[in-house]
Structure formats: C-alpha cells, structure tokens
Amino acid sequence: MEKEKKILYINLNERTFESIKRPDLNKYIGGVSLGTQLLEEECLFDESSLSPEQPIIFTKGPMNTIFPVVTKTCCMFKSPLTEELGESYGGMRMAMAMGLAGLDGIILKGSSPRPCILHINNDEVKFLDGEPLWGLNTDEATRLLHDKRGRRGLRSIITIGKGGEKQIKYACGLVDTYRHFGRLGLGCLLGIKMVKAIVIEGSRSNPISNTEDYRKAYEKIYKKVTDTDLMEKYHGLGTSINIKSLNDLGALPAYNFSKSKIIDDNSISGEFLAENKLIKKVACSGCPIGCIHIALLKRKFGDPYEYEASTVSYDHELIYALGSMLGILDADKLLRLIEAVELTGLDAITTGVMFAWMTEAYEKKIIDDDLLLTKPGFGDIEAYLQIISNIISQPNKFYIDAADGTYALASKYGGLNFAMVLGKNEVAGYHTGYGNIIGQAVGARHSHLDNAGYAIDQELQEFNPTEIVNKLINEEIDRNLLNSLVICLFSRKIYDYETIEDALNSIGYNITKKQLKELGLNTFLDKIRIKEKMGFSYQRLQIPKRFFETECCGKRLEEKQADEILRLYIDEVEKLKQKYSFS
C-alpha cells in the first residue's frame, strides 16, 4: 500500500488552505478506512456535532474511475442527527474530480464569516462569494454554478438547499444534481460552516506503469459487469424493482409500518414508472451501468394547455419513504413530493419516516393541527408539501423541534413505539425480519447498507440467531473493505477478494487477500472505537414496538428473539475487541 496520500486542509475561519502529503496514511488505502483515521485525528469528541470546528472529511480510493463501477466518494463527520458517527457516500463525478485534482482527501474545518462557495482546482482553493446563491434551491444553485464554474464533464458540484442553510439536522448534500450525501446530516454541517457549494476540478494525471496487467484486470472486471446478469437489474428497472417484489413478499413498509403490503402497487412500482414516466438513465463517471433513473414530471399551471416539466430521479428508498410509507400511491403525486424534498435538500428517508410518524401521531391525537398548522392524512400530498415548507420556515416551536428528526420529536411529544428509527436514524424500506432490524440497529451508521440484514433474512431458511449475527458481522467487515476502495455496493458481487487483489496489484500495489481482510476488520473495529468515544453504547439501543406488531413476510416477529440476537451480537463484538487488543 505504498501510494502516498495527499490531503487538502481547508480552514474556513481564516480562509486558508494547505495541501499536505501524508505517507503515514498509506496503510489506510482510501475511502472509509482513510476517512475513519482522519476523523479520529480531527474530531472534537467531547463537543457537539454543531460546533463549527468539527471536521467534514471527504476521501476517495485508489481505484476510483480506473476500474468499472468504482464511483463513490466517502464523507465522514460527527452526525448532528445521532450525535455519533456520520458516514455517507456520494457518486456522480466527485471522485473523478478529486482524482484529477490529485487529492485523496479534503478536510473542512471552521466556519466562513459569510456564505461562500469553495472552488477547488488542483491544490488551489478560491473562496467565492456565496451570497447570491444563498436561499436558492439545490437545482437553481447547481444550474448557475454549472454555467459559470469549472470544465463541464470534468468537475463536480456539491450543493445544499434551504434545509442545510437552516441547519436542519437531516439536510443532505447534493452531488451533480442526481446523487447525494443523503443520510445523517452533512447538509446541516455545511450550513453551519456557511458553505453553499463546493466545486472540484483539476488537470492532474496519474499514469499507470504496467498497462498490460491493468488492461487484463480491467477487461476481466468489465466483462463481469456487462456480459453477465450480476448487475442487470440496476440498469433495467434499477432498485425500484424491489417495490413489487417486496410487496409480493409482504415486506414493503407502508402507512408508517402499520402494514407490510399495499393493495395496489402498480402505480408506484418500478415497472409502472419505467413504462409511464422514465425518460432517461444516467451513470456516474466510470460506470457502464446507468442505474440512475430519471422521470419526467409534467404539470399544468394554466389554461389553455399551459404546462411545465421537470426531471426527477427515483429509486426504491424514495418510493418507499415518500410513497408507500405515506400512502402516496399515485406516481405524479409521488414525483412531486420527491422533487420538493430534493429541491429543499433534505434526506428523503428521514423526511418520509418523520412525516409518517407525524401523520399517525395526529390520528392518535398525540399532536394536533395547532402544532402542525395543517391536517395530515395518509395520501394527502398537499399537507406534506405544507409540512416541508413549515420545516424550513419554522413558524412555531414544534417545527423548530422537527429540525432535529423523528427520534427527537417522538421523545418530546410521544409515540416512540411507532417512531421508526434505529440508533436515532430513520429506517430503510424493508420489513423482512430480524436481520434487517438488528442490522440497522448495530450497523456503524445505522443503515441497511452497513451489513445488508434485509438480504440475510431472505437467505436464511430458518431462525438461527448465531448465523444471523455471524453474517451481519462478516458482511459489515467485507463492506468496510469495499467502502475503503469506495466501490459502488451495487457491484459487490463483482468485486470479490481475488478480483480486488488483482485490480490493486495491476496499478502498482503489492497487497494480499489477507491484508485486504485485515483492512476491513480494522476499519470495523476503528469505527466502533470512534462511536464509543462519541458516547454510543449498544446497550442503549431501542427497537420500536411497531416492528413486532406488523407482520413481515406473513408472520409476526417476537421481541424476545430480537433481544436475543442483539445480546449475541454484543457478545461477539466484545470477543473481537478483546482478540484484537481493542483500545
């Protein structure tokens, strides 16, 4: 792992920057392993996530854009939503742009005295006036920068919306319009730092010395990506294919998890959207798949026949959170709600889950329309659009509290049993079983993508707590390797250990499968150590009762069995910590 790391440090307080070569970081290779180490160096563990001096860290990996489907950038921070580990991934052109700039990592600290735009070009940073863009939605801000800054196709633009400007704790950062650092509140932290946008570009090259070995490794991977069915679904219907299949299984959360199936999924299924709304597919830089599905939203605004149109990206999680979870079963209404969330710069999963809690809490008379300033009901898009507006304008104390997320609201007003959060992070669109529940609870970022518990549920033939725990741990370790290389997880079946070893060695690394496995394990344990320094404890995890009230896949789950799996998981993690001298 002899590749020398270059980190760009940006001080927003002083508006200064410095590019530093860090050979001591070589063993961390990139992505989440590098980001975790930098976070441990820079984080103020005893201070609030909202402190301007907390770092935001972006890292790329050594294989970005050199090999197919290695397209992500990792972002590490202290999450304002959970007050513990923040970890998020964005695609499109950002990793490519960092590579062209010759950067392995970017660290932002401090806060600009006024709104700014950071323009990073190779080792140079310009602090541009952000006032003209402050208050604009994400699309407007991106479009203006797209026309004015950087070389088209080779630069990346990251923006926040009003959600980030207002420091909503689940605000996201949008990357090149169609991808996101979606979860855990990066947009909030950029808002605190008064950074409206970041533009990254460069003109550096990184020649590959052994082109023959590289070409062989590349072609082998490319053929697996394009000539097999391993990634076929992502190009075809994309992840929205999951809506119909999960609904058929009785595993699609609906109406705030009070149901696990909707009567008619046709109008929001991937099949319906593809046949009636899809207009194009887009790919991240370095990816031949094109999994980003773009729909056309057409609206009439006057007579006679006055229409406007916009494009909206959709996928499984958006359809779940802003569709089935809220009883929005009309494609046009769904796309309108997705668009509103995107333009405001909010995390779609958190927003949808929180709206579902609000709706049920209103129905149960836990909160009233004096607080909500509207009367929400499942399926009522106008009420949800009004709530988005209220979250930004914050007209009363309830909406000030709503900036803190679902867990904070339910803790204060009631209804924790049906507030669908695990580890204070709103849950993803699966109700498949114990693996999914415990996986999101114990995962480093409380995400279904940490360990794919939902997939483990569908693989197991019978209830086996030990096997669930072992699979959750091993999968998370493996994914820490993939995320250190910042490989898109859609291609996880392409990049096995042997393939990764061959790929890295073809571009000048000297690495073995054993070292790769150690990297994944060490990153897994490093993140646990950081989480504990931030105050996290497995013992304090809470599981909403709703998981055990609503059938999944035709059966009810038992709380005591979930508790058993959690205890086993904690025991196994303790064994790993002791075995590898955790401190």
DSSP letter assigned to residue 114: S
pLDDT of residue 7: 98
**How much is the pLDDT for 147?**
81
Q: With bands split at pLDDT 50, 70 and 90, how would you rate the model's confidence at 151?
A: confident
Whole-Å CA distances, 305 to 299, 300, 308: 10, 7, 10
At 582, is the pLDDT very low, low, confident or very high (cuts 50, 70, 90)?
low
Query: Which tens digit of pLDDT belongs to each residue from 214-239?
Result: 999 999 999 999 999 889 889 999 99
Kindly report, residue by residue over 490-525, the tens digit of the pLDDT.
999 999 999 999 999 999 999 999 999 999 999 999
Average pLDDT in the 92-115 region?
Answer: 98
Residue 156, C-beta contacts closer than 8 angstroms, at least 6 positions apart:
92, 93, 94, 96, 97, 98, 175, 176, 199, 200, 201
Q: Name 276's Cβ contacts closer than 8 Å, sequence gap at least 6.
A: 331
Q: What is the dihedral of CA 582, 517, 183, 353, to 10 degrees?
A: -90
Judged by phi (left if over 0) then psi (alpha if -120 to 50, else beta), residue 558 lies in beta
Q: Cα–Cα distance between 445 and 158 in angstroms, integer?
A: 22
Amino acid in the structure at residue 64: N
Share of the chain above pLDDT 70, in %: 99
Q: Which fold has domain 231-396?
A: 1.10.569
The domain segmentation of the chain, as residue ranges, is 5-201, 231-396, 432-492+512-579
Residue-level pLDDT at 17: 98
Query: Which residues does residue 296 pair with via DSSP β-bridges, in sequence order?
Result: 311
User: What's the pLDDT tens digit per position in 324-370?
Assistant: 999 999 999 999 999 999 999 999 999 999 999 999 999 999 999 99
pLDDT score, position 54: 99
What is the β-pairing status of strands 156-159 and 173-175? antiparallel
Q: So what's the architecture of 5-201 in CATH?
A: 4-Layer Sandwich (3.60)
What pTM did the predictor assign? 0.96
Q: Pairing mode, if any, of strands 105-109 and 5-11?
A: parallel
Question: Each residue of 276-320: pLDDT tens digit?
Answer: 999 999 999 999 999 999 999 999 889 999 999 999 999 999 999
Please state which CATH class domain 432-492+512-579 belongs to.
mainly alpha
- Provide DSSP, 189-220: HHHHTTEEEEEEE-------S-HHHHHHHHHH
The predicted pLDDT at position 153 comes to: 76
